[in-house]
Amino acid sequence: MRRRHGLGWFGRLLGERQDAALPLYNAVVLRAREEHWYAEGQVPDTVDGRFDMIAAVLSFVMLRMESEPSGGDPAARLAERFVDDMDGQLRELGIGDIIVGKHIGKMMSMLGGRLGAYREGLATGDLGPALVRNLYRGDPPAPAALAHVRDSLTALHGALAGVPVSTLLAGELP
Neighbours of 134 (CB within 10 A): 21
Amino acid sitting at position 114? R
Range 123-128 average pLDDT: 95
For residue 59, pLDDT beyond 50 = yes
Of residues 47 and 56, the one with the higher pLDDT is: 56
What are the backbone dihedrals phi and psi of residue 151, each rounded to the nearest 5 degrees, phi first? -65, -40
Mean of the per-residue pLDDT values of the chain: 83
Q: What is the pLDDT of residue 103?
A: 64
Give pLDDT, residue 164: 93
Q: What is the tens place of the pLDDT at every residue in 82-121?
A: 877 776 666 676 666 667 666 667 777 778 889 999 999 9
Question: Average pLDDT of 58-81?
Answer: 82
